[in-house]
Amino acid sequence: MQRNPIVSIPATARKTGLSAPTVAKSLEHMRRLGMLHEITGRPRHRLFVYDAYLAILNEGTEPIR
């Protein structure tokens, strides 16, 4: 998740060598724990975001006024 803070089930399955159902259950479990946030709102082709990590990366990037 640190290398790719926005992930999909098929891409994660390919990169890890795990089956898509295993990845789906893992990502859903992390979502229920509050670690991830699902951003598409669809039952298929979902994207998950590691919000806490993106918040750290975005610190100090607010535009100067």
Q: Where are the domains of the chain?
A: 6-58
Q: Which of 39, 7, 41, 40 lies closest to 24, judged by CA? A: 7
Q: In a 10 Å sphere around its CB, with 0-12 CB exposed, 13-18 middle and 19+ buried, how is residue 46 labelled?
A: middle
Residue 39 makes CB contacts below 8 A (sequence gap 6+) with 6, 46, 47, 48, 49
pLDDT at 62: 80
DSSP 3-state assignment of 9? helix
Kindly report the CATH class assigned to 6-58.
mainly alpha
pLDDT at 12: 96
Walk along the chain (65 residues) in steps of 10 and give the mean pLDDT of each run: 91 96 96 94 93 87 81
pLDDT at 22: 98
